[in-house]
Amino acid sequence: MAYDAELADRIRELIAAERGVEEKAMFGGLAFLINGNMAVVVSSKGGLMVRVPRDQTEALLSRDHVEPMVMAGREARGWLRVRPAGITTKRQLKPWVTRGVEYARALPPK
């Protein structure tokens, strides 16, 4: 399954004013990087992968449509998967994109 091009366009719209944005094909999806650090990924499995501070992970997992991100059978700490039902509207999507962008921006540039 290819990634959701419409979701990628919605993210582009939300981060259009950001500096240091780069897009890269990764994990079968499309990653949005800020100064070389991944912020969010439009997943080829549907939905969104979001980079979050590890200390916020547990609290965020209690939200609807959110689950741990698992790659190669292991949970990727500091990352969450938001299922498509949790990002259908701009109001739902924007906080996730903002959270990922802010976290990536706080990391040292690569």
Q: With beta carbons less than 8 A apart as the criterion, state whether 8 and 30 touch.
A: yes
Asked if residue 1 has pLDDT above 70, the reply is no
> Residue 46: which domain range?
5-105
Does any domain span residue 29? yes
pLDDT digits (tens, 9 = 90+) for 34-73: 999 999 999 999 999 999 999 999 999 999 999 999 888 9
What CATH number does the domain containing 40 carry? 3.90.1150.30
Coil vs helix vs strand at 50: strand
Does any domain span residue 42? yes
Q: Indicate yes or no: pTM above 0.75.
A: yes
Q: What is the rounded average pLDDT for all residues in the chain?
A: 95
Query: Considering its fold, how many domains does the chain have in total?
Result: 1
Does any domain span residue 110? no
